Structure formats: C-alpha cells, structure tokens
Structure 1
Amino acid sequence: MLQIARGTYIGKVGTDLLLLRCEFGNGNTNRPERISGDIFRGISLANFNPMLPDVEAFHGSFYSLGALQSASDGKGFVGTGVLLTNPEQSISIKVHQAGDSPKSKLRIQLTTTNTLSPQAYEGDLNFWMTALRALTYEIDAVASPGTATLIWGIMQDVAENYRKAGVTLQHASSQDSIGAVAGGEESEWDEGELLGAMEDNFSRYAEIAQQPAWRAYLLATPWFRGERATAGPYTTGIMFDVRDRVQRRGAAVFWRARERSSGLDNFRRDFIRTATHELGHVFNLVHPFAADDSSDCSSRSCMNYPSRYPGKDQAYWPAYEGAPLCFSDRELDHLYHNRLESVVMGWYRFTDPPGRSQDIANHLKPVKVTGLELKLRTRPERLLFEFGEPINIEAKLSLRGPQFKSAPQSQPVPDALNPSLGTTTYLIEKPNGHVVRFQPAVRRDVESRSCELNASRPAIYENINLTYGANGFVFTEPGKYRIQALLSWQGAFLASEPLTIGVRFPDRQIERGVMEGWNDETGAYLAVWGIPQRTDRVLGHLQRLEKCKIYRGKAHPLYREAMRCSYYVSLKPARIIDNRNGEPRVKVRRAGISKDEQAFLEEDLLGIGKQHKKRAASQTLPNLLYSNLALAYARFDPDRSAELLQAVEQMHSSNNHHKRIAPLELSALQAKFESLG
C-alpha cells in the first residue's frame, strides 16, 4: 500500500466516472491512511472537467472506514467504506496497483454490500495530481502598485501553506484578473460594495454564477465599513458572498486593518494567516471554537483566532516555531474526504458541521451565569408580526443582581451580541416544533471585541435582525415562534429565557406578494443594506407588496424595508471598481433621489424618530440601518441635517445602546460620510 502515490486519480468505472483521493504517505502517524471519492454518472472522461464538476452527473461520494489492509503482494489494499449520501449503505473496496511505479495505474472494485440490489463499480484509474483538492483563485488589490505586489508575493506563501496541507492553490492567469486598483488606498468597503466588485470583476463569475466550481475570488481592500477612524479591534477578513444559493466564492482581506492591528513587523505573518483563514471559509471550514459544544480554543489551526488560543498571541505564534500554518485533523478530514457538495464552492451554503446540533437537544433551557443575565425582547414590546415582516429583536447583556450592579470591580464581556461575530448563537423554534440555528448571511473575522460592565455601565444592547440568514428566510410560516440566545465567552456559557412571538396568518394578497418577494436575491439585498446592481430587480420582486396597506395606510413592512435599503444605496457614496479604460481605479458613485423619494424618507425617518422619543419605535427598522440612512440623508439635504441628527440621538438615547452606536459616536458617523465625499 505504501507504494501507491498520495494524490488524486481519475478514470472510468463501468459506465460511470470516478475521482479517487488517496491519502497515503502522510509522514504523520496521527493520521491513518484512507481514501475517498466522487462518482459521476453518464459522463465521458473527455467531457469531464474536474474543476467544474457536473451537478447533474454527480451520483455521490464515498469514504473509507477503519484501517485499510495491504494486499498480499503489497501492491494494493482492501477495506470497507460508506456512501456519504447514504451512510447506512456500506461498500467493499479493493484496489490493485498495475505497475511498480508509485503513480502506476490503479484497478479498483467498489461493491455495495448491505442492499437487496448490490451495485458494482470496476475500472482503471490514472494518476492526475499530487494534491487531494485544487482551487483556482483570482485576486484584486485596492492598493498602490507597490503594496499590491507585496500582497501577491504574500499569497505565494498562502499557496505554500495549502500545498503542504495537500491542496493546490493556483492563481489565475494575469489576463483573468484586473490586479492593482488605484485611487482607494484608504477606502472603506461594505458587504454590498464587495459583492458588486466581485460580480463586476471576477472574470469567471458569469460562468459559475449558477453552478459549483473550484474557483474563488479574493479582494484585498483597506478597511471594512466604518472602522478606519476607530481605535479597533478591526475586521481583518470576511467571506461576503451571500447572493442566492450559489455562494462561498468570494472573500476579502482588509490589509490596512491588518497592518494597523499587527504592526509592520508582524504584517506579513498575520496577513498570511488571515488570507489562509478566509480561503478556509470558502472551502466551508468553520472556526474550531464554533465547531461543537466543546468550544475548542486550543487548536493550533489557522482557522482559530490567536486571541482565543490559551495564552493568546504570545503563545499561539511560538507554537508554530517557524512551521507553516496548519489545519487540524478534523479540518483536513473535511478538506480531503467530505462529500463534494460540502466542499466545492457554490454548492452547499456556508454552514456549521452536524456536530453543532448537539446543544439544540437541550434548547430553550435557560442557563444562568453568576453576575450576568442575557435577555431578549422586542422594541416596543409586541406579540404579533405581519406575515413576511422583517423580524428584529433586541439582545441585552447585563449585570445580574444588585450586589453586582453596585460592585466596584468590572466584568469583562463581548462588546457585540451579533451572530456574525461568532460569540452569540440564536436558536429559533418554529411552529411545528423544529428548532433551527440562525446562520448569519455574512461572517466577519475580528480578533477580539470586549468591554467592561460595571456600575457606570451595567448593560450592553444590540439590535439583531433574524429575517434572513445563510439558510434563507426564517419566519416562513404563520404561528408561534420561540427565540433563544446562547452566549459562549471565555469558557462560560449563558442562555437567555425564550422570547415568544407570533406571525399572523396572511390574507391571499399579502401571501402572494410575500411569496413572490421571498427569494435569495431579496434576502441578500436586505442582509447587506442594498446592492447597487440589484436594486431594480429586488423592488420588482416586491412590487405587489407596495399595494398591501397595513400600518395606517402604509405599504407592507417588507417592501418599506427594501425601500430603505435602496435609498441607503442611493444616498451613500458607493465604492466601485471602474475598469473601462483598462486602468482600474476606485470611483465614488453618487446618485440622487427624487422629490417623492425625499418625502418618503422624511416621513419615515423623522416620523420614526418621534416614535422613538415616545418609546414606540417601528419594529421593522434596524437601528444601525436607520442611523446610517439618516446620516446619509442629512449629508444629502443639509437643511434637514440638524433635525435628522436629533432624531437619531433621540432613538439612541431612548434605547440606551452601548458605545458602538451611542450618541457620543454620532459625530464620528457624520464625519465618516463627510470624508467619503
């Protein structure tokens, strides 16, 4: 068996085609030798492109179980395995090596064993490549030519990390990528702008827009939205590709944020880890501390955060002692041997592995932690929502008990309760009793975010939008729902009391309008506050809801939310990459709004500001979207600036939000929009 070369083999088995991965010669006694493969039905070898797998022809994946036994002549092996698409169906495996060379042709026999109609696959396989997986990627850098050259050089080290892990990472040819992008060396980018940049500049985007492919796009930009003027911690990477079900193709690394966080001495080292980490998400790898209930922060994997490793950065980096960044055995199992749908870009959505469902078995049982309380509520308190209405709740983490609220010592806690940062999970029990974990549409990688709760600041608050996530729309049927928050922080586990809400039964017109509007394009548009290239189509999906009058003659709240996102896109200075003249540059696209649209915004923003003053805010309005939309409009219409800023301040003071969006931050938010001009 040891004579067989490690790598990928390809060939026909009967009328089907087999892609076989052989993990031999590991040089690591901790990893057993094993094989896995993908079977494609009804496709010829001449028409098969391994980098663009045929979804229609894909029949299933298999994986060897237990130890593989050497054949008597030492030129093959036998073993048993299981079909990953049907774990109850086992298979027998026999492989014989035809020649003396390690890369000689393999003769393989696969037979299903516990079925009334056994299936047999037999054929010859030829050596294809030494890697077990391969990815072709394009990278564009919003940076000066010198910095872009540095980033491309660093990506060679990233590729070397993956090569040593058994994965080929190949940069696309130069004509496929626009390369360095000038004019935005200090620019800030939000999720919608990143999506737009990928759709406009990923040369193979149209080819893979609706099918899986081993292709990905990496964009290196300076800053994530709103963070350039702050003192950190900073978002250093993000997998932003959430448009429709064909996702996990796009990621971004924020190189200015990485530079400021790491310093010049450690910039290269930390950029390598960040880029390796984000591309790991593209392969559908999750954080080890979020992989199961054990919250394993001791992993040396590049998918871990150095700030979560025992001893933090000081212990994380010396553990490598100059060795390349690595993946854990669990992550290597996924990369090498998991079913094709879970690994290839554009098939399964980014999701946590099955092991994460263990805590769902104990869902809706509140867990108390001495001195802290986690609470969910709606603002204002209400029990019923319209069918299709965006669902926003308020999460509150506070000191518990008068002895703690008056104590002089401080309690360290995460300063954000948003699920996109990974410390807080939200479970939702549907009307049929099924419990789902809310998967945020976008995952952000931030090394550490913490604050102190004490007598002067006894609580933090955050608005949580649960309308649409990586698994689509959540509140899709009328009836009663229960929502629970689970917080994992520095070894402690805290669960809230369940929050109960209801969704009304719709009339026929509302049901038809919502069902027409509920699609992944609309969901992604709402999740990232608008994508300029998609505004007309999304509003077209929701056109019927414009006529569904619910709140005092106003249109359905789902339509009004989409309108707010479209106005935010129109009002804020949007970053785009302009490559029309062959010299790519970052341009700021400005767009005005009509008088009718101004009237909608003034009634919406100022009216809701007054409602917040009375503590009766509209549930359909996320606080951060409201703040940014109001500030964008204040910049557009200086005559209304003072009134709009006052409305924002009234909302924040009434909600008593924590420092990230407190009234003291309003001047910084306003300065952000001024600087983008």
Structure 2
Amino acid sequence: MTPQKDRPVRPRRTEFTQDYAPPGGDGGAEAMALDALETAAGFDAAAQQPLPVTPVIPILYNVSGLYQWSQLQPIGPVPNPLPPTVPQPIPGPVPGPGARTENGAAMAEPAAATAAILRETLRLDVDGRYPQMVASGTIFQLLTERIHWIARLTRQADGSWVGPIFYKDGTASALPHTQVRITAVRTPFPTSRSATVTFTGGGAATRVRTYKWDSAYYRPCELEYDTVAGATAVTQIATHAHPRRPSSLPSETLTIEKVFQRAGFNVTRSGDSPIPIVHAGANARWNEAEMHDAMQRFWSRFANRPQWAVWTLFASMSEQGSSLGGIMFDDIGPNHRQGTAVFSESFIKDAPAGDPAPAAWVARMRFWTAVHELGHTFNLAHAWQKVHPPAWGNSWIPLVNEPQGRSFMNYPYNVTGGQSAFFGSFEYRFSDQELLFMRHAPERFVQQGNAAWFTNHGFEQVRRSDTPTFAFELRTNQGDQPKAHAATHQFLDQVVVELKLTNITDEPQLVDARILETTDSMTIALKREGGEARVHTPHATMCWHSKKRVLEPGDAIYASLYLSAGRDGFYVAEPGRYVVQAALHLAEEDIVSNPLQLRVLPPRGYEEEVFGQDLFTADVGRAFAFDGTRALDDANATLQEAVERFAKHPVATHARVALALPQAVTFKELREGDGEARLQFRGLEPDLEEARDLLHDALAERPGEAARTLGHIDFAEYGAKYAKALSEGGDEIAAEAERESVIDGLKKRGVKASVLDEVRAKQRKTK
C-alpha cells in the first residue's frame, strides 16, 4: 500500500499546461517582462549598439487551488504571580480582527483575537480545468471546524475577484461578513504563491487574511482496486477508440485517477490486488452480503471513521443477474459511502448490434460504470435525482435536475437519443453543479465515511399532477388481507411493506421494470409520533440496466421494502406510532403514495426489553437487510439467540431466514491469499441440513403466518430459494413440496389467481 502523502505531488510535465491560466489574465507577469526589456534597452543605449532581443512570452500561472493559513499561539493567559490588571473600558467599539485604521491601513491583529484560531483554508476556483468562479473557505478552532463559507466571484479589471458570500455552514457569528475581494500572486514558484482575501460587509470590521499556496488540488482521495479472477477491470480508456464522440474531445489515455484529478482531487493509489477464486463452486456470482463482508475484512484502508479513501471491487456478475452493472455500498460499519463494486460481465459488456467499434464501446461502458459508482461515494446523486420534497431533507444549495446532462452521474440511455446521443457529446466530466459540490461543499458532506448517503443535495418541490398516470400505494401484509393501510407490530418484529404501482389511465403506459426496486427515482420518508421526519435509505445503491415494461390499464407492478433498518441504523424500533409515505419521481410528474400508519407495541416483558438492546444494532440491521452474513459473528449470535429465546415471535421467523440463506449456498468469502496473491476468494461449503431445518421452521411449518410476517413477495422469494437448495441437494420431492407450500400459503392470504400464476412462473425459472 502506498502511504498518502501530506502534500500533493506536483503534476507531471505532460499535464503542466494545466498550470497556466487562460488568456485574459491580470497581466502581472507581462508587465514584469516589459519592464525587464525596457531596463535592458536603457543600458544598451549608451553603447549605441542594438542587441538581439529574445522575445519574452508572458506566462500566466494558474492561481486556482488550496491555500492555507495557520497561527499557533498559546491558548489562554500566561501564568502570572501578580494579580492581573483589570482591563478598562475602551471608548467606542473594539476593533475586530483585521480591522483598518482611519487612514485605511490594516491593523495588526491582537493575540487574544486569534489565540483560539489554529487554521484556515481557502479554495480558489477561478481558472484551470472547469473553473466554477467561486471561492470557499473553512475556519477551524481548536481542531474543530467553526464555519465554512462559499462566495460567487466576478473578475475585476484590476485582476482581483469580488463577490458575495452566498453560503455559510457553522457558527455564523464567527464570520459575519457578506462580501469578499481576493487578489492572488502568480509565480512559477509554488512557495511564493499567495492569495489575500478581504472580508467586508455584514456590519463587521474589515477582515484581511493572506493565505499561502498549498496545492493545485482542493481535496485528497485514495483509491484502491481489487479484481476477482475472471473479471475485467477497466481503469483507463483511449478517448478516441470509439468513433462516437465529440469532435472537440482530446485524444488521450484517460484514467479514473485523472477524471477525479480534474474534478479537483489529489488522487493516490493503495493496495491494488488480483483476487483468485478458490473452491467457489459453480456459482461465481456475488450477493450484497458477500461483498459487504469482503470489504469489511480485507480492504487495506477500511476503518470505522471518515477518511478520503474508496475501495472498488471488480467482479464478474451479481446474483441479481446481468441487469445490475454496479453498486455503491452505503453503509460499511457506522460509516457510509466507502466502497463500490463493478460487474464487468453484466449488461455493460453488451455492445449494441451494429456498433462500429464494439470492443471500444464495452471498454467505455465499463469505465463509465466505475467512475459513476465512485461518484456516489462522493455523495453525488444521479443527474435527475436532485429535486425532492422540502420536508424530506435539507438543501445545501438550490439545485435543479439535469435529466439531459452529459455527466458521469447520468445514465447514458436515459437522455433523448439514447446512449449514442449521450456519448456523442460526453466530455468525460462531472456537471458544474456536481463539481461545485465536490470541490466546495463542507467536507463532511463529501468525504467518504462521513455524512450519510444522499444527504445535503437539493430538495425542492413535488410536481404533483391533477390527472396522474399512476396510483402509488404503500401497504402491509400484516392484516387478514394484503391491503391494509395500517398495521400493528410486536416489539422486536421487523417491518416489511409492499409497494404497488398501478396504471390508472385508459391507455398502456411504459415504465421501468425495476422502478420500485431502486431508490434512484423514489424517496421514502417516515416519522415517529413526536419525532422528526427521516428519509429511509437502504444499505446499497444499485445501477440497473434500463428495461421497460408495458403496463396495460389497471395492471400493476409490485415490490417489497425492508423498512425497519437502513444506512442510518434502525428507523422502526421504539414503541409508538409511525407514518410512512413515499414519492416516485417520474419524467413528467411526481406520484405521492398514501400515508401508511404503523404501530409498534411496547415490549411484553423485561426479557424483550433487554434483548432489544442487542437486536437494534447496525450489524443486525445489515444482516436482516442482506439476508444474512458469514462475517458478522456478533450479529449471527444475536439472531441465534432470537430463534432460541423467542421461537414463536415474528422476529424468530426473520432471524431463521437470515441465518439459513448463507448456509444454503456456497458462500464466497475473501481471505488472505497463499503465495503471490494478496487476497483470494474461497467458497464456504453450504450446510444444507442446517439451512433446511431453519427454512422449514420459518416457511413450511406455518406458511400462512410466514407470509404475513415476511410479506407475500419475500415469502415467495425465500420459498423459491429454499426449493432450489433442496433440488440442488438432490431432494426434488421436498423441493416441489416447498413450492406448493408457498402457493398454499399465499392462497390462504387471499392472493389473486393472476399473482399466483406469476409466482409459479418464477418458480419454474429457478428450478
């Protein structure tokens, strides 16, 4: 692993042109060059001999980058054996830091005014690659962030930049000013570069601060790639390999590191490894539990703390199938957004028929997917996903959706004209809104492992139509019929809700087949009585291939949602009343669901109350969400305890499923490798007998009760997995009996015949 350096490395000579400003600079270097020529001409005039003059080309060095100011002083007064002199009142207001005298000269700042301020940073973004014409800064006190500010800048005739401070985060009184003026010293010598910021307005005394140059990059980032045997890792491409491209696109070898360098990050690499698969069995596909376990155990930089570091796993295929191209892990331990996986043999390897350069198309799509998933780890939402109801989140600044944007965060096949039109004008960059967020938003919003996924983007209004196309319904299977808009759960029970989208028009409608299975186009909010509203986000964010489905009038599609826990821990745990509501964001309208009422009963005794402290933890929530784990031993111990102590309680049904499913298949585990391989995946042999006993108790013993507890959709899915495990174990008679048990259980729940036919069709596919 390569240690991250304290200071960024200077760009290579091949990229040195990026250190120059575009035409229209302040002319300081040009004036110095002309002065030098005039002086030389004066000396030569005495000799009356003209000398050959070599033309001096003015070089205007970029000033964009990171600047630092620090002043370390003792905190508090120096001990004095004599009683200190009592300060006398000073007539008039006390000058603030950086105040000016009556003649305009800057006053020296008294030690007391800066004794507690250790460090300030400035990010100047006015030239170079994709300038945003803003400056941002952070004031730290006692190693704690005090205030973060951002100003919009306009270039002045004298070469300075002036503009209003439009954003503040933190203690506003620490910086009451409202305007900035910035001047910068351009020089080829980085140690001599500086920027001076004059803060004015807000009724405060003028404040002047001079910052020293630190780096051409705004923030650091460390990337680590691990590749499973048989997968293809594409971390660089030739931009002109495919003929469908912008005519102005430079021909170069573009790497993932360079993409993020151009976004403003000082990128380093750590610990890349090829990963062989040992004894993995026939199933080399990956589920979320396996990837999550692997990341926690063997990412060389994994830590339960915020850090500028990301892990990317290149694997062949997900268990979800070829339609899943990539996934961002939102919740690794208590910290989020630290890792991604890219599935190289998914739909991203299928070039369109007749494409003029299919190999280049595949490489480009794999590269795009990797950068797209990494963008999520910087807390970037999809291009069309930035606008949501105001009550469901906090806006960092007002944003707008960019459904036609040519950004890494947009789906190529979603724009008008499809992927061909997208790549025909795609410049391998993030949008200006995204660059502003990555470079200048408060650090905790962007840094991996810090603020939770998809917080602090733009949330605005819901576009509800007077004549909606669809009806969006949240319901629960807890009642006698699967149409209850209210449900009561016992304490410790896990809440699963059903989503239903129905075409309520008189015409067929085209929808994304997985629109209810992803949070890309959906926001779910829930509120406990007496508490604040929270946005529900699952543990994983997936990048699906777009597959359309026709909904005839009256037809519906369904999906299940595990509501109890997500990337913020448990949402539904404490006794009380809850309200859940969702909004589906479509191209032309937002569809808002009914409010679903939930009630969690108090514990039935001291034993349940105490056990809840062990159950409602982040690791147990992840085990439930990922249908089990082989790595989180404490979580498995808690689930086993739930089965043994509360055998007839609904939580035991959920626990049995989570314990059984990892035992029903060959489970892939990342281990330290033998020989040259640093890491390798080994297949853990299934324990079919243990899995069979657990799943029989959970599903087959009381199928009607299991369907009510797990929800109809998950009950059918788990039954299909159980039947498949029985069949692969050689017991086809028991497998068929389990399939019929699922149908019988759903019949007892009053499920429609058409839905039962769909379940049978899915069962046949999994045989």
State the alpha-carbon separation in 2 of the partners of residues 99 and 454 from structure 1: 65
State the alpha-carbon separation in 2 of the partners of residues 476 and 112 from structure 1: 50
CA-CA distance at 1:333 after TM superposition = 0.8
Cα deviation, 1:150-199, whole Å, max 9, x if unaligned, reads: 55668953223223333343332xxx222253567982111111112222
8 A contact 1:429–1:436 mirrored in 2: yes
1:480 maps to 2:577:
yes
State the alpha-carbon separation in 2 of the partners of residues 9 and 314 from structure 1: 41
Q: Residues 139 and 454 of structure 1: is their aligned pair in 2 closer, same or farther, counting only changes over 3 Å?
A: same
Aligned position for 2:212: 125
CA-CA distance at 1:482 after TM superposition = 2.5
Partner amino acid for 1:376?
L
CA-CA distance at 1:123 after TM superposition = 6.1
Give the one of 433, 437, 443 matched to 1:340: 443
State the alpha-carbon separation in 2 of the partners of residues 541 and 86 from structure 1: 42
State the alpha-carbon separation in 2 of the partners of residues 542 and 144 from structure 1: 35
CA-CA distance at 1:287 after TM superposition = 0.7
Aligned position for 2:194: 106
| Alignment of structure 1 residues 547-558 onto 2, 5 Å | 549=646, 554-555=648-649, 557-558=650-651
State the alpha-carbon separation in 1 of the partners of residues 641 and 202 from structure 2: 53
Q: Residues 267 and 61 of structure 1: is their aligned pair in 2 closer, same or farther, counting only changes over 3 Å?
A: farther
State the alpha-carbon separation in 2 of the partners of residues 35 and 421 from structure 1: 33
Worse-superposed segment, 177-186 or 574-583 = 177-186
Q: Residues 440 and 449 of structure 1: is their aligned pair in 2 closer, same or farther, counting only changes over 3 Å?
A: farther
8 A contact 2:538–2:567 mirrored in 1: yes
Q: SS at 1:440's partner residue?
A: coil
CA-CA distance at 1:79 after TM superposition = 6.5
CA-CA distance at 1:450 after TM superposition = 2.4
| Alignment of structure 1 residues 303-318 onto 2, 5 Å | 303-318=409-424
CA-CA distance at 1:453 after TM superposition = 1.6
Partner amino acid for 1:225?
E
CA-CA distance at 1:471 after TM superposition = 2.5
1:669 maps to 2:766:
yes
Q: SS at 1:272's partner residue?
A: helix
Partner amino acid for 1:24?
V
Cα deviation, 1:499-532, whole Å, max 9, x if unaligned, reads: 2222212344323322332121221222111221
| Alignment of structure 1 residues 575-614 onto 2, 5 Å | 575-582=668-675, 583=677, 584-592=679-687, 598-611=692-705
Q: SS at 2:631's partner residue?
A: helix
1:247 maps to 2:336:
yes
State the alpha-carbon separation in 2 of the partners of residues 480 and 459 from structure 1: 29
Aligned position for 2:355: none
Q: Residues 84 and 546 of structure 1: is their aligned pair in 2 closer, same or farther, counting only changes over 3 Å?
A: same
CA-CA distance at 1:487 after TM superposition = 2.0
Partner amino acid for 2:137?
G
Pair member with larger Rg: 2
Q: SS at 1:196's partner residue?
A: helix
State the alpha-carbon separation in 2 of the partners of residues 137 and 164 from structure 1: 15
1:84 maps to 2:169:
yes
Q: Residues 650 and 19 of structure 1: is their aligned pair in 2 closer, same or farther, counting only changes over 3 Å?
A: farther
Aligned position for 1:319: 425
Aligned position for 2:306: 212
8 A contact 1:391–1:465 mirrored in 2: yes
How many residue pairs match? The answer is 615
Relative to the length of structure 2, the TM-score reads 0.71
Give the one of 52, 68, 85 matched to 1:10: 68
State the alpha-carbon separation in 1 of the partners of residues 756 and 199 from structure 2: 62
8 A contact 1:61–1:340 mirrored in 2: no
Q: Residues 18 and 514 of structure 1: is their aligned pair in 2 closer, same or farther, counting only changes over 3 Å?
A: same
1:37 maps to 2:124:
no
Aligned position for 1:518: 616
Unaligned runs of 5+ in 1: 43-56, 229-233, 671-677
Partner amino acid for 1:346?
G
Q: Residues 512 and 418 of structure 1: is their aligned pair in 2 closer, same or farther, counting only changes over 3 Å?
A: farther
State the alpha-carbon separation in 2 of the partners of residues 421 and 310 from structure 1: 22
State the alpha-carbon separation in 1 of the partners of residues 627 and 640 from structure 2: 18
Q: Residues 425 and 449 of structure 1: is their aligned pair in 2 closer, same or farther, counting only changes over 3 Å?
A: farther
Q: Residues 658 and 24 of structure 1: is their aligned pair in 2 closer, same or farther, counting only changes over 3 Å?
A: farther
Give the one of 20, 33, 43 matched to 2:122: 20
CA-CA distance at 1:285 after TM superposition = 0.4
Partner amino acid for 1:374?
F
8 A contact 1:369–1:492 mirrored in 2: no
CA-CA distance at 1:372 after TM superposition = 3.0
Give the one of 353, 366, 376 matched to 1:281: 376
1:463 maps to 2:551:
no
| Alignment of structure 1 residues 624-643 onto 2, 5 Å | 624-632=717-725, 635-636=728-729, 638=731, 640-643=734-737
Partner amino acid for 2:475?
R
State the alpha-carbon separation in 2 of the partners of residues 356 and 655 from structure 1: 38
Give the one of 437, 453, 464 matched to 1:350: 453
Aligned position for 1:570: 663
Worse-superposed segment, 103-112 or 481-490 = 103-112
State the alpha-carbon separation in 2 of the partners of residues 67 and 95 from structure 1: 9
Q: Residues 122 and 66 of structure 1: is their aligned pair in 2 closer, same or farther, counting only changes over 3 Å?
A: closer
State the alpha-carbon separation in 2 of the partners of residues 437 and 660 from structure 1: 35
Worse-superposed segment, 187-196 or 508-517 = 508-517
State the alpha-carbon separation in 1 of the partners of residues 746 and 401 from structure 2: 34
Partner amino acid for 2:433?
R
Q: Residues 94 and 547 of structure 1: is their aligned pair in 2 closer, same or farther, counting only changes over 3 Å?
A: farther
Aligned position for 2:276: 181
State the alpha-carbon separation in 2 of the partners of residues 107 and 625 from structure 1: 62
8 A contact 2:331–2:567 mirrored in 1: yes
State the alpha-carbon separation in 2 of the partners of residues 443 and 318 from structure 1: 27
Partner amino acid for 1:327?
F
**Cα RMSD for the two superposed structures:** 3.7
State the alpha-carbon separation in 2 of the partners of residues 302 and 181 from structure 1: 30
Q: SS at 2:227's partner residue?
A: strand
Aligned position for 2:714: 622
Q: Residues 666 and 295 of structure 1: is their aligned pair in 2 closer, same or farther, counting only changes over 3 Å?
A: farther
8 A contact 2:298–2:671 mirrored in 1: no
Partner amino acid for 1:6?
S
| Alignment of structure 1 residues 190-589 onto 2, 5 Å | 190-205=287-302, 209-228=303-322, 234-262=323-351, 264-265=358-359, 266-293=361-388, 295-320=401-426, 324-356=427-459, 358-359=461-462, 369-370=467-468, 372-381=470-479, 383-400=487-504, 404=506, 410-418=508-516, 420-432=518-530, 434-454=532-552, 458-507=555-604, 508-534=606-632, 536-541=633-638, 545=642, 549=646, 554-555=648-649, 557-582=650-675, 583=677, 584-589=679-684
Cα deviation, 1:103-151, whole Å, max 9, x if unaligned, reads: 43426568797699x99795652333x2223311111112449x45x55
State the alpha-carbon separation in 2 of the partners of residues 464 and 435 from structure 1: 18
8 A contact 2:136–2:150 mirrored in 1: yes
8 A contact 1:652–1:662 mirrored in 2: no
8 A contact 2:135–2:152 mirrored in 1: no
State the alpha-carbon separation in 2 of the partners of residues 76 and 488 from structure 1: 40
Worse-superposed segment, 381-390 or 191-200 = 381-390
State the alpha-carbon separation in 2 of the partners of residues 159 and 630 from structure 1: 46
Q: Residues 545 and 477 of structure 1: is their aligned pair in 2 closer, same or farther, counting only changes over 3 Å?
A: same
Aligned position for 1:50: none
State the alpha-carbon separation in 2 of the partners of residues 526 and 442 from structure 1: 13
Q: Residues 430 and 609 of structure 1: is their aligned pair in 2 closer, same or farther, counting only changes over 3 Å?
A: same
Q: Residues 585 and 169 of structure 1: is their aligned pair in 2 closer, same or farther, counting only changes over 3 Å?
A: same
Relative to the length of structure 1, the TM-score reads 0.80
Q: Residues 179 and 108 of structure 1: is their aligned pair in 2 closer, same or farther, counting only changes over 3 Å?
A: farther
Q: Percent of aligned pairs with the same residue? A: 20
Q: Residues 611 and 560 of structure 1: is their aligned pair in 2 closer, same or farther, counting only changes over 3 Å?
A: closer
Cα deviation, 1:385-436, whole Å, max 9, x if unaligned, reads: 12332111112222337xx3xxxx6321232353534233323232126433
8 A contact 1:415–1:450 mirrored in 2: yes
8 A contact 1:635–1:641 mirrored in 2: no
State the alpha-carbon separation in 1 of the partners of residues 652 and 201 from structure 2: 55
